Amino acid sequence: MENYFDLNFTTQQVNAISNLGLAHLGDCVFEILCRAYLCTSGDKTVDKLHRDTINMVKATSQAKFADKMLPMLTEEELAFYRRGKNSHVHAVPRSATPAEYAKATGVEALFGALYLLGRKDRINEIFKTVLEV
């Protein structure tokens, strides 16, 4: 049976997944990091946790995250980011520009790829470093 909490795909297997498929998974990975961060950042009501999570995971916030994250990425990681960023999406939320949404999709694709590759330490390193900036 596959252990979906601890996947270790090869780069070839990850490359076989569509750009938006990686972003789909990465959206969840990014959100769980934000939720964990917020839960460990102090005593908050469920409503406050929910609102703060939404503020962290919305496309405009992820675009800012991308701008801070890009200088620390390896060439391989940049390639995953670009795959997501250059994806052709069919709809952009009203709260974001197409450029912001593209960057957010890039962040999600990168986090999805790193998760599938089993590089949880690297995901955590990127996330923590960007939060500290």
Give me the active site residues, please. Answer: 27
Closest CA to 113 of 37, 4, 18: 18
The rounded distance, in Å, linking the Cα atoms of 2 and 4 is 6
Per-residue tokens: 50 = 């929910």
Chain-centroid distance, C-alpha 100: 14
Per-residue tokens: 28 = 């969840």
Q: How far is CA 103 from CA 8, 27, 108, 121, in A?
A: 26, 12, 9, 22
Per-residue tokens: 88 = 């052709």
